[in-house]
Structure 1
């Protein structure tokens, strides 16, 4: 359910400025290097010093105290983040793997796999790309984040947490994401160690769930279900991938905050139905959240999604939806403090912006749609899809150089199918080991919803203009933002000039009090035989005298 507009308006926004400041200085250090990070840190320190002096010596210190405290907190926290990211960049520049003598040459490296290998599409032999923690074999204690590209043979079956040794070619990072190098392997890994116990459990559950899906569902649906539930896209066909990309549904095949919110919401509904208290329910839901993180792989992107999903839990404990904004800002600060590379991660930006849109923008859209006669449930779905699409479309254009005009229609069409698939699929994956037949039965219950999603993506992907190319980078984002803002500005001007105040729609959108019909005065009901002057004649004569005194005739 979407929060009411009053909750959004009355939200505590004091953490918004510190979160934005931390994010900005971290981006400056990660993209601009040592000089940009140091300059941002110095600027924050100057602002902090000036604010402290102004607060101490100003004659209007009492009146300016709230604003000055906010500036001090923002500048202080941002300066700390700027110093941390600058020190991180300096450490990466002096890492042994970043030495000038290694660039373009081969070396033996010790690697720790950080996520499931992702198969790269393109001509030639299949290859994979996977994030790793790398170190030169001669100095195994100096580890840093890196990106590895390798042949699929021998590498695609590796599990996160495994330690391997391989001969790699060291190149510069292909993007500014706080990685030390981009590594390229041409042969299979050597000296492969066993993954940790929790990763072996997660791998067994994922393999068993994928096998049950292949046994119970058709080809397209069997590859889609593990992707929707666990983020396992290894069995997803190329045609389904292309259809989902063209109609703006690719985000469904990656574990996002919505997955965690749906799973936690289902758990909370069951616990509340059983009479469990609110705080106890939140603790149990957090335990389920942690188990789900392990099941879908605790990579930084998954943990980021879990943090976004945990915003709802914090709001639940606080007992009011207006706590979602400070919870979201605190989640951004904590996530950037633990994983600074998330500042330049497109998925992190999309997740934060979509969550903020659902909190701030969706309530107003929902109420506007309800005002023109849209049913409440349909208005909720439309508001969620519109808010997320409006806010994330410029970011998608900046990152990928594409825009999906049918994205809103596609997300609305499949919205009702996402929650049942997520809940039933997660439960099926959990019980597939103890009871394979029950797990297969739950998977079969997902078949109609999966068919609907595959069919919807297939139909909408064939619509002319379903996916349009736009300039990538900041220019494309500005063009898309202007394209989205133009209709809103036109409606605002239409209402402002008075043209939208006539007609059935204009009358609903205009809320001026002077155009509303004045209701007739309330009339007092008189019950026959109960009038006071009939019951007591003296009271009736007294009231008639007062009435004549207040309203004298024309002759007086």
Structure 2
């Protein structure tokens, strides 16, 4: 019997998300929204005291208004703090000390030699300030080797921040940065592991597989060819070269299975799973996209460990609420919407698709993986159309074809990255890691070939109207296909019994 779906946190999560979007798009509307929520709560309280309605009848409305008001209040405080930050209204040149938050992203074309870096401003001149986020443009040669947590002092030109963000300024480096101290020890270890993986991949594999392995394992696409990157995008596989919730679920799930086989008590597995997730976040960089993926991976992990599948949806709702309250910019991030939609699709429709595949005698393990890939692709297609104005014809087929090797590459790649970082170059750990990398060669070749063949077709992705119209067209087509498939599943499920 299919367990009941717990949808209680769906409306509060949607309220927080909607309030945050309104606040980011129209800052002046935040206070009005909060006042309306408070007034509505007061009115409902009066109605309850007057005996007109009961708390039970208005419970969900009170919860939604309360969460919307909380989100709006928290966002208004953060906006006020940003507007009062010393750099917010400053223009011209000044010297700042920044803390690198994420890896530099080279701007295209690569010949420009410029990169964009997410930083926190921690000092202006000689005066320390509370850390505040900013974008910094600088020469790739000056910033490429910096790791998260590294501080640098540099002369910058200050410009207004991008709209609809929680940044205090856009900075352009005018001078050469001067390093201040060293990054934290855990970030130095993570940088060492990433560097070793790149070196091992280059030694053990030929191009383009050598540039693909670090991207699949740690989201490091610095060595990935532009042509391969375009093939992955056209084939609907680009999400594999960025650390996603599936990476966390696969790697952390494998670690927990190993711990369980070693006799670890089940009650400790959630705690150990959380520690594994934290360690993986440090390894692949604590950027917004990685933290988003960690949240979604945690939801998947909870669904796997829980004896009740119905707990997955409340976990997803909680992840959305906490994530948006902590990092409001996620509300407008396409990747966040894609992650939430994919996770919800897997939880809601994955079991039905799996059961349908069982009807055709697909093995259990294969059916589970195929069901996740199909559900995720179907629910994310309208969002992709909204963002890019394109609909991938081959995305579902491409993801199904690479499913058998994704888990193997993620698990074995993570293991070889850790083993290869131990000891000196050419030592025992290095040799074992290089051997493992060579063993992954055929799996990587298969992924590159699938992307090249499917993504290389002129009709692999077709243009659709961009924006809301495109999303509506693709969403309507997806709904029609889904309803047809659901009727077919019902016919297969109940037809033999009625016969």
TM, length-normalised to structure 1: 0.83
* Corresponding position of 1:508: 491
Q: Give the distance between the partners of 2:132 and 2:212, measured in 1 at CA.
A: 34
Structure 1 residues 291-316: Cα deviation after superposition (integer angstroms, max 9, x where no partner): 11111112232122112111234345
Contact residue 159 and residue 203 of structure 1 kept, 8 A:
yes
1:49 pairs with one of 42, 51, 63: 42
Q: Residues of 2 paired with 1:182 and 1:393: CA distance? A: 33
The aligned runs of 1:388-537 (5 Å cut-off) are 388-434=376-422, 435-488=429-482, 508-509=491-492, 511=494, 516-517=498-499
Cα RMSD of the aligned pairs, angstroms, is 2.4
Shift in Å, 1:476: 2.5
Change (3 A) 1:444 1:67: farther
Contact preservation (8 Å) 1:161, 1:195:
yes
Structure 1 equivalent of residue 256 of structure 2: 268
Q: Which runs of 5+ in 2 are unaligned?
A: 423-428
Task: Provide the rounded CA distance (Å) in 2 between the counterparts of 1:441 and 1:340.
Answer: 44
Alignment of 1:312-327 (within 5 A): 312-315=300-303, 318-327=306-315
Q: CA deviation at 1:364?
A: 1.8
Maintained 8 Å contact 1:230/1:255: yes
CA deviation digits over 1:510-530, x for unaligned, max 9? 8479x923xxxxxxxxxxxxx
In structure 2, the partner of 1:107 is: 94
Name the SS of the counterpart of 1:219 in structure 2: coil
Distance in 1 between the 2:318 and 2:38 partners? 22
Corresponding position of 1:328: 316
From the superposition, tell whether residues 22 and 506 of structure 1 become closer, same or farther in structure 2 (CA, over 3 Å). Answer: closer
SS at match of 1:41: helix
| Residue pairs, 1:101-250, within 5 angstroms | 101-102=90-91, 105-122=92-109, 124-134=111-121, 136-137=124-125, 139-250=127-238
The alpha carbon displacement at 1:157 in A equals 1.3
CA gap 1:96/1:395 in 2 versus in 1, 3 angstroms: same
Q: State how far apart, in whole Å, the 1-side matches of 2:132 and 2:53 are.
A: 50
Q: Which residue among 2, 6, 11 is the counterpart of 2:5?
A: 11
Does the alignment pair 1:73 with 2:73? no
CA distance in 2, matches of 1:84, 1:425: 40
Residues 95 and 472 of structure 1: is their aligned pair in 2 closer, same or farther, counting only changes over 3 Å?
Answer: farther
Shift of 1:489: 5.5
Are the aligned partners of 2:212 and 2:223 in contact in 1 as well (CA < 8 Å)?
yes
Q: Find the aligned partners of 1:471 and 1:173 in 2 and give their Cα distance.
A: 30
Looking at structure 2, the residues matched to 425 and 123 of structure 1 have their Cα atoms a distance apart, in angstroms, of 28
Moved more, 409-418 or 358-367: 358-367
Distance 1:192 1:56, change over 3 A: same
Name the stretch that deviates more: 203-212 or 308-317: 308-317
Q: Summarize deviations over 1:405-456 as a string: whole Å, max 9, x none.
A: 1111111110111100011011111111331111112212211111100111
Cα distance in 2 between the residues matched to 1:189 and 1:254: 28
Distance 1:283 1:507 in 2: 40
Q: How far, CA to CA, are the matches of 1:475 and 1:360 in structure 2?
A: 25
Check if 1:36 corresponds to 2:26. no
Shift of 1:53: 2.6
Q: 2:86 aligns with which of 79, 96, 99?
A: 96
TM-score, normalising length: structure 2: 0.92
CA distance in 1, matches of 2:57, 2:413: 49
- Count residues with an aligned counterpart: 492
How far apart, CA to CA, are the structure 1 residues paired with 2:141 and 2:57?
Answer: 59
How far apart in 2 are the matches of 1:273 and 1:98? 54
Report SS of the residue matched to 1:166. Answer: strand
- When residues 273 and 413 of structure 1 are mapped into structure 2, their CA distance, relative to the original with a 3 A threshold, is same
Cα shift at 1:67:
4.1
- 1:289 CA drift (Å): 1.8
Distance 1:124 1:442, change over 3 A: closer
Q: Distance in 2 between matches of 1:159 and 1:491?
A: 48
Mapped partners of 1:269, 1:416: distance in 2: 19
Q: CA deviation at 1:139?
A: 4.3
Is the 1:279–1:317 contact (alpha carbons within 8 Å) kept by the matching residues of 2? no
